[in-house]
Homo-oligomer: A and B are copies of this chain.
C-alpha cells in the first residue's frame, strides 16, 4: 500500500482509508471491522462443517431434543424452517413429519432448501423389496450403520429418505453420529484414529452401466485436524493395496471403528411411519435399519442433495430474522 489516513465511512463511523500502489485504488475500512479482523484476533467461526461447529450426540444425548418439524409449519413459518435446517447443520439431521405421501414428493422436500443431486440411480431411488435385487437395500436384510455412496467424489452430503409405507414387521431405522464415534475413537485409541485419518480407502461400485471409484479416507479432517467427513460402507469398500504393516494397522483400526459404530448407546432408533421424512448429513451420520419380513409392504423413496445449499437457505432465513446489520457482504439484491 502507498498511504493510509483517517476518514469516516458513509455512515459516519471512524475509518481508515488506504491508497494502494500502484494504481491509486482507494479502500475505506471501518475501524470496527479492522479491530474484528486484527491478526491474532479470536479464531473466526468455521464454515459450519467440522466437529467444532456441531453438537456431538449419542442416543442419550439426543433424548429430549429429538429434532422434528411438522410439514405444515415447516413450509409456512420461516422460524420453523430455520430451526429444522439448523438441526441438520448442528445435529446432522431433522425428521419432517406429515409430509404428503406421494410419488416424487421427496424432490419437492429437497427443493425447500436446496437442489437434488442426480446420480446414476436417477433423481430419486426406491428402497423396497425387489424380485431380483442387486443391492442389499432391495432385500429385507439388516443393514448396519453406513454412509451412502463413498465410491462417489464428490459424495452427496445430504440424504432424504421419506417413508411411503411401512407395514412390515421390523425395518426400524437407526442413526449414529459418525463425528461423535470418531471423537470417541480418537480419545480411546489415538493410533487407530490416526490410521483412519491417513490411509486412503478404495471404494467402488459397478453395474452394467456404471463404474464408480473414489480413494478417500474413512475419517477426513481439515488442516487443523478437526473431523469434517466420515465415509463408512462395508458393501463398497475395495481391496487396499498397501505394505503389510499398514494393512495390519488399518484393519485393526477399521475393526475398532466398526465395533464402536455398532454400540447400542450410540445408535438412535426410531420407526418411520408414512409421511415421515428424515433429512440427514451423509458425510456425518451413518444410517441403518433392522431386518424386516419381506412379505410386509415397506417403501421409502430416497434422494440426494448437498448441505452447502441447505446452509445457504438457513443463512438467508436468519438475515430476515435479524434484519439489522447481522450479515455482511450481501449484495442489495
Contact of A331 among B134, B153, B222 (CB under 8 A): B134
With A119-B309, A154-B308, A312-B212 known to touch, is A44 a contact of B331 (CB < 8 Å)? Answer: no
Q: Is the CB of B223 within 8 A of A37?
A: no
Does A47 have its Cβ within 8 Å of any Cβ on chain B? yes
- Residues 19-59 of A at the B interface (beta carbon under 8 Å): 37, 39-41, 43-44, 46-49
Residues on B with C-beta less than 8 A from A244 are 39-40
Q: Is the CB of B215 within 8 A of A47?
A: yes
- Residues 84-132 of A at the B interface (beta carbon under 8 Å): 115-120
- Residues 275-328 of A at the B interface (beta carbon under 8 Å): 306, 308-309, 311-312, 315-316, 319, 327
Does A152 have its Cβ within 8 Å of any Cβ on chain B? yes
Contact of A206 among B43, B134, B241, B331 (CB under 8 A): B331
Residues on B with C-beta less than 8 A from A153 are 47, 49, 157, 308
Residues on B with C-beta less than 8 A from A40 are 243-244
Residues on B with C-beta less than 8 A from A212 are 308-309, 311-312
What residue in chain B is nearest A41 (Cβ atoms)? B241
What mask results when residues 172 to 211 of chain A are scored 1 for a CB within 8 Å of chain B, else 0? 0000000000000000000000000011101010111111
Number of interface residues of A (CB under 8 A): 62
Contact of A47 among B115, B213, B329 (CB under 8 A): B213
Distance in angstroms from A45 CB to nearest chain B CB is: 9
Copies of this protein in the complex: 2
Distance in angstroms from A325 CB to nearest chain B CB is: 14
Interface of A is mostly: loop
With A47-B153, A211-B327 known to touch, is A118 a contact of B116 (CB < 8 Å)? Answer: yes
Does A217 have its Cβ within 8 Å of any Cβ on chain B? yes
Distance in angstroms from A257 CB to nearest chain B CB is: 17
A selection of 25 A-B contacts at a CB cut-off of 8 Å is A39-B244, A39-B247, A40-B244, A41-B241, A46-B215, A47-B153, A47-B213, A47-B215, A49-B214, A154-B157, A200-B222, A200-B223, A206-B329, A206-B330, A207-B330, A207-B331, A207-B333, A208-B332, A210-B316, A211-B315, A212-B308, A212-B309, A213-B311, A214-B308, A217-B223
7 additional contacts, CB 8 Å, given A40-B244, A154-B154?
A: A40-B243, A47-B215, A115-B119, A116-B118, A153-B308, A198-B223, A211-B312
